[in-house]
Amino acid sequence: MRWKKYDKDAPHSYTFGVFPTLELLRYQTLRVVEVILHSQGERNEGIDKIRALCQHARIGCEVNDRLIERLSPKENTYAIGVFQKYYPKLAPTGNHLVLVNPGDMGNLGTTIRTMLGFGVDNLALIRPAVDIFDPRAIRASMGATFQLAFQYFESFDAYRAAFGAHHVYPFMTDGAVSLPDADFQPPFALVFGSESSGLPAEYHAYGMSVRIPQRPAIDSLNLSVAIGIGLYAATETRS
């Protein structure tokens, strides 16, 4: 079977690189269709691990330099995992992160890594939103995507209809409470808008809006940084 460049409407996607491919094989073994290797990666320690995982799970593993060069946008890609897309559900009692209209693949991937770092493993994406299965988003997450539950919703109201018991904390530059004073009650939903425009004013009404205290010297923090600070503060425990 010959694979084509990533298409958001296709039923499969790709991991580009050894590390994300290892994460795919570890956490979504049953979704893997096959693994393609580059002959120049033969001495890479990660490639040995990939071969072992494929053999153990009886997943096809082929060396095909031309196919890798055709599929991957970057040079020096030594491994590509081909996998079936899948559609998990959010844990009803877990803490959630909600991204309203996320537009940047890099920020999305970085955010997924941060979520796992702080044990918040459920991500709601409110449309319009970037494609979590786009290989660029998976690469930016370094494969952390494969440990995550995620779900798309047509609107924030649709999310609320599905998870009405969550305590909602919209992060807004004019939020009612300063982050160090916020008291996060589980299960919580931390809500962030897009990099360019943040959340519209009506989000104040959805819950206790939170502001990250910051100097007027800059317009706003980078979205990935703001989300990291929110996740840290909401899950912070002192000993």
Min dist. Cβ of residue 95 to its own copies (A): 13
Residue 236 sits in the site that holds its own copies (CB under 8 A):
yes
Cα–Cα dist 86/83, whole Å: 9
Buried b (16+ CB within 10 A) or exposed e, 13-39: bbbbbbebbbbbbeebeebbeebbbbe
The footprint of its own copies on residues 160-189 (CB under 8 A) is 178-181
Give the list of residues 6+ apart from residue 217 with CB closer than 8 angstroms, or none.
Answer: none
CB atoms within 10 A of CB 139: 23
CA nearest to 108, candidates 95, 93, 118, 98: 98
Comparing CB distances to its own copies, the nearer of 9 and 181 is: 181
Residue 212 sits in the site that holds its own copies (CB under 8 A):
yes
Min dist. Cβ of residue 137 to its own copies (A): 14
Comparing CB distances to its own copies, the nearer of 19 and 152 is: 19
The footprint of its own copies on residues 116-145 (CB under 8 A) is 116-119, 142, 144
Window 83-122: contact mask with its own copies (x via CB under 8 A): ---------------------------x--xx-xxxx---
Residue 76 sits in the site that holds its own copies (CB under 8 A):
no
* The residue count for the chain: 239
CB atoms within 10 A of CB 175: 20
Min dist. Cβ of residue 80 to its own copies (A): 21
Comparing CB distances to its own copies, the nearer of 75 and 237 is: 237
Is 123:112 a contact under the CB 8 Å cutoff?
yes
Comparing CB distances to its own copies, the nearer of 50 and 68 is: 50
CA nearest to 230, candidates 189, 187, 186, 174: 189
The tokens for 4 are 């084509």
Residue 196 sits in the site that holds its own copies (CB under 8 A):
no
Judged by the rule CB under 8 A, the positions of this chain that interact with its own copies are 110, 113-114, 116-119, 142, 144, 147, 178-181, 212-215, 217-222, 224-226, 228-229, 232-233, 236-239
